[in-house]
Amino acid sequence: MGQIFSKIQSLFEHNFNEEINFQTEEINDFPSKWRCISPGLTVEGICTNNSCLAYNKKVIHNVGFGEFDILKSEAFCPMCKESIIPLAPGFSQCFCHIKYKKKSCQEKQIPWLKTTNKYKIFQQDESCAVEYEKLEIDARELGTGQLVEKSIQEQIDVIRKEQAQILKEKEDAQIDKENQQVENEYEQHSVLLLDGSNVISDGAYAQHIFAVNEFINIQSQKGGVQTTLKDVKVELQDNIWTQ
């Protein structure tokens, strides 16, 4: 399960980083009292209390574990306890499940990212409210492995279904393209065969016969042969023996 988790996590983080600019920092890089980090979810923001030691500085509100709506829930300066405007969420030593919706985009989710001794954070220059319509996070302790494994397995199943659907759509598109090409050739060659078989060479005639038969065979495999095509095939084969 560990290898599967690593592969799934890498996939999620890759997609997440591309859209959200998700960066990783060392936990011990934050010596200030207003930037201390506890395990679980954190919310970074700017303290606007001009009487606070952390005034106009980026501070960290430690949420801990549980569900948290970044855009609707309150976050506070750890020094003066005054409300702050959330800039970005961060995570350390936890599993976190993220649901988000950027403005003018579809809702998406990142299931159960794992953070250990690193601090992961959205890199934001403005408040999350500027870019997101929805940003909800569920942080769980690292010991809650069974819950996370179940969620990961469910997500693996979803990914497999999505990949199978994408592969099928690509295969269907390729088949449709090839069938359309053969159909176009059929139309060209059948006109020559039925209207001008006496003025084309034997080699070209054989090529036309092959193209028409190939189209009819493809239609037969799809179960979509029309009576007119069968009639054309019979007529063409009769023409071969009467040349």
88 neighbors 129 (Cβ within 8 angstroms): no
Task: Locate 94 and state its tokens.
Answer: 């936890």
pLDDT of residue 53: 92
Specify the 3-state DSSP secondary structure of 142: coil
Helix (H) or strand (E) holding 115: strand 108-115
- CA distances (Å), 188 to each of 191, 205, 221, in order? 6, 12, 22
Q: Give the separation between CA 43 and CA 119, rounded to whole angstroms.
A: 12
The answer to whether the beta carbons of residues 64 and 39 sit under 8 Å apart is yes
- Residue, of 157 and 171, whose pLDDT is higher: 171
pLDDT (tens digit per residue) in 179-192: 777 666 666 655 55
> Rounded to the nearest 5°, which phi and psi values hold at 200?
-115, 155
Q: What is the pLDDT of residue 8?
A: 41
β-pairing, 75-76 vs 83-92, is antiparallel
Mean pLDDT of 210-225: 58
Give the model confidence (pLDDT) of 25-49 as tens digits: 766 666 688 888 889 999 988 999 9
pTM flag (> 0.85): no
Q: Is the pLDDT at 54 greater than 80, yes or no?
A: yes
State the DSSP H helix or E strand holding residue 240, giving kind and residue range, or none if neither. helix 227-242
Domain borders along the chain are: 2-143, 145-227
Give 231-241 pLDDT, tens digit per residue. 444 444 444 43
